[in-house]
Amino acid sequence: MSEFQTPVRKNKVSDDKITIPPSPFLNRLGYGTGVSVMQLVRSPRAGQIRSPWALKMLNKRVKQHKVYSERITIEAELLQRMSHPNIVGFRAFSKTKTLYLGMEACDVSLGDLIEKRVEDSGEPFTPKQILKVATDIASALDYLHTKMQLLHGDMKSYNVLVNGDFVVCKLCDFGVTLPLDENGVFDKQHAGKAVYFGTEAWSAPEVIHGGEISNKTDIWPLGLTLWEMMAMMPPHTQIEDDTLDDSVVNLDDSAASMEDDFFSEDYGTRPLVPVNISEMTYAEPLTLFCCCTETLPSLRPSAATLATASADMLAHVMTL
């Protein structure tokens, strides 16, 4: 049985009772809008080592708790139905007293890994590492698009988890998924009031400028995620020396607004190849990046095609 034929779990979301220590005693793994992700180190049972969990919990300082509670609930229901080696695993869910979603704990998000690398050396990731991300995450998206008929809706580096030295990469954060029809197009009839959420800097042209949302809308931000690993910065944040005047570089409140406007003009466009990247050494990652960021969705590869192509490229690079 191939990884794309992994059986779907049929069990319902459970209210597993575990003891959650106060937040100061939990290690923060990450955070998002309205939520925090904490690490829970579970007490071992007799003769048994128990792996840690990542707990997604509401951020009590943020308003609109109902909205974020619903997102966590939706994500819990989805995760328990999914089973794929490149999708973060479900562990537990509870709505009693403290609302939390328990998931398998992975080492670090790709976004955090990029930030740390910038601080340490600033060197881009290797073609092998980039192709591994492309292979694993495209595989996860293929499962999501075809087996679950869902659009991830917020693909970016911070929603990619990495274990070890890119031993395995996993897709996470399914709180804003959207239904797809049999043609891979956003199914408005079954979406209710749900709309595309995303993060603007990673969003595809059809999101920014209006157009048909489909499974190809997840492919564009995956391409930008590969670009991040080469450019060592979020998409559309690069500044050329002659493009901003002093009023923008030396930011005050009004200049900050001008900077936001400057960057937002580039949203939904393909960033330039980073100047620090050798087009010969990074030929394979750059090919994937360009394929994923075609303006016309019909020209972008499907997740299945991308997974196969990146796996073949990775196998080739491994032999060099």
In the chain, % of residues over pLDDT 90: 60
pLDDT value of residue 50 = 64
Confidence of residue 167 (pLDDT cuts 50, 70, 90): very high
Q: Looking at residue 75, which CATH number applies to its domain?
A: 3.30.200.20
What is the pLDDT at residue 301? Answer: 98
pLDDT at 29 exceeding the cut of 90: no
Across 50-72, average pLDDT: 76
pLDDT band at 36; cut points 50, 70, 90: confident
Strand-pair category, 35-40 with 53-58: antiparallel
Contact 264, 278 (CB under 8 A): no
What are the angstrom distances between the C-alpha of 152 and each of 50, 82, 287?
30, 13, 23
Active site residue 154: yes
If asked whether residues 171 and 285 sit together in one domain, one would say yes
Pair (99, 175) in one structural domain: no
In one letter, which amino acid is 277?
A: I
Q: Which domain holds residue 64?
A: 3-104
DSSP state for residue 178 in the 8-state scheme: E
Look up residue 79 and give its DSSP letter. Answer: H
| Contacting residues for 156 by C-beta, under 8 A, at least 6 apart | 111, 199, 202, 221, 224, 225
* Residue 31 reports pLDDT greater than 80: no
Among the residues of the chain, which ranges form H helices?
A: 65-81, 110-120, 127-142, 205-208, 216-231, 246-249, 253-264, 283-292, 303-319
Q: Using an 8 Å Cβ cutoff, are 93 and 14 in contact?
A: yes
> Are 82 and 142 in the same domain?
no
Pick from 71, 104, 137: which residue ends a domain?
104
Shared domain for 176 and 43, answered yes or no, is no
Confidence of residue 44 (pLDDT cuts 50, 70, 90): low
Among 172, 163, 293, smallest CA distance to 226 is for 293
> Position 127: which residue type?
P
Nearest to 129 by CA among 228, 236, 24, 203: 228
Q: What is the pLDDT of residue 204?
A: 97
Domain edge (last residue) among 79, 104, 129? 104
Question: Of these residues, 142, 154, 173, 187, which one is catalytic?
Answer: 154
Residue 53 and residue 197 share a domain: no
CA distance 18 to 42: 9
pLDDT above 70 coverage of the chain, percent: 77
Q: Nearest to residue 33, comparing CAs of 240, 191, 175, 231?
A: 175
* Shared domain check, 167 and 54: no
Which of 51, 71, 104 is where one domain is finished?
104
Q: Do 248 and 309 share a structural domain? A: yes
Do 218 and 83 lie in one domain? The reply is: no
* pLDDT tens digits, 4-25: 444 444 444 444 456 555 554 4
What is the pLDDT of the chain when averaged over all its residues? 84
Domain count of the fold of the chain: 2
Residue 36 or residue 158, greater confidence: 158
244 near 209, Cβ under 8 Å?
no
Phi-psi region of 38 (alpha: psi -120 to 50; beta: other; left: phi over 0): beta
